[in-house]
Chain A
Amino acid sequence: GAGVSQSPSNKVTEKGKDVELRCDPISGHTALYWYRQSLGQGLEFLIYFQGNSAPDKSGLPSDRFSAERTGGSVSTLTIQRTQQEDSAVYLCASSLGLVGLEKLFFGSGTQLSVL
């Protein structure tokens, strides 16, 4: 497809389990972002990948969170030992370059619910 694709669209898991969220960016987009939106909150930056550079992980809330981007394309966000406060919509976005000049294109998100 032409847009950013995320899977699964919904994920329900039990506290303490690990989850993996997947993002397929728009083809050719070198920049890839993960954001999350908790209930009643804005979009919180998590991590940023740009080409082959080291990712900016400054937004990851704890060491239970990690992400990788393979081959400069698909990205996986992994949350280990999930907690209830991890429940949120996790949004992936991609862009061609510097986000001020090239707009972010978002996927529809993964709704994560931790019971």
Chain B
Amino acid sequence: DQQVKQNSPSLSVQEGRISILNCDYTNSMFDYFLWYKKYPAEGPTFLISISSIKDKNEDGRFTVFLNKSAKHLSLHIVPSQPGDSAVYFCAGIQGGSEKLVFGKGMKLTVNP
């Protein structure tokens, strides 16, 4: 049972354009969501998070939107830069749990 789904395995965008990475979840008990970025041969690094009581969180070029009724969140990167090329993981966590549940990841390629 995949609780966090990233249905598109890859995305390619032009430098300067917006990148939109989507994530769906099935566990309505998740109350916190995080995005991690992973470069090859490195561990994932934290990017941005959002609490379920919010519908938007912004940090510089990165914005995460949460639609609880649709059980959907998205990460917007604008403007996209070649250095953003990486695999992005969406993750959810349930209150009281210590386990982040990750999606399969999406590979973003930003072309110069």
B49 at the interface (CB under 8 A from A): yes
Contact with A along B17-51 (1 / 0, CB 8 A): 00000000000000110101000011111100100
Q: How large is the interface on B (under 10, 10 to 19, 20 to 34, 35 or more residues)?
A: 20 to 34
B64 at the interface (CB under 8 A from A): no
The interface residues of chain B lying within 8 Å CB-to-CB of A40 are: 104
Neighbour of A42 across the interface among B32, B41, B45, B105, CB < 8 A? B105
The interface residues of chain B lying within 8 Å CB-to-CB of A107 are: 43
The interface residues of chain A lying within 8 Å CB-to-CB of B105 are: 42-43
Residue in chain A with minimal CB distance to B44: A106
**A42 and B43 contact, Cβ closer than 8 Å, known pairs A31-B98, A56-B98:** no
Neighbour of A91 across the interface among B43, B49, B93, CB < 8 A? B43
**A43 and B89 contact, Cβ closer than 8 Å, known pairs A31-B98, A100-B32, A108-B41:** yes
Neighbour of B42 across the interface among A35, A48, A108, CB < 8 A? A108
The interface residues of chain A lying within 8 Å CB-to-CB of B11 are: none
- B43:A109 contact, CB within 8 angstroms: yes
Which one of A4, A59, A100 has the greatest number of beta carbons of chain B within 10 Å? A100
Residues of chain B from 53 to 112 with CB closer than 8 A to chain A in the complex? 89, 91, 93, 95, 98-105
A41 at the interface (CB under 8 A from B): yes
- B103:A42 contact, CB within 8 angstroms: yes
Q: Which 4 A-B pairs have the closest CB atoms?
A: A106-B43, A100-B32, A103-B46, A43-B102
- Not counting A42-B102, A99-B100, a sample of 11 additional A-B residue pairs whose C-beta atoms are within 8 angstroms of each other reads A33-B100, A35-B102, A41-B104, A42-B104, A43-B44, A43-B105, A48-B99, A50-B98, A91-B44, A103-B46, A106-B44
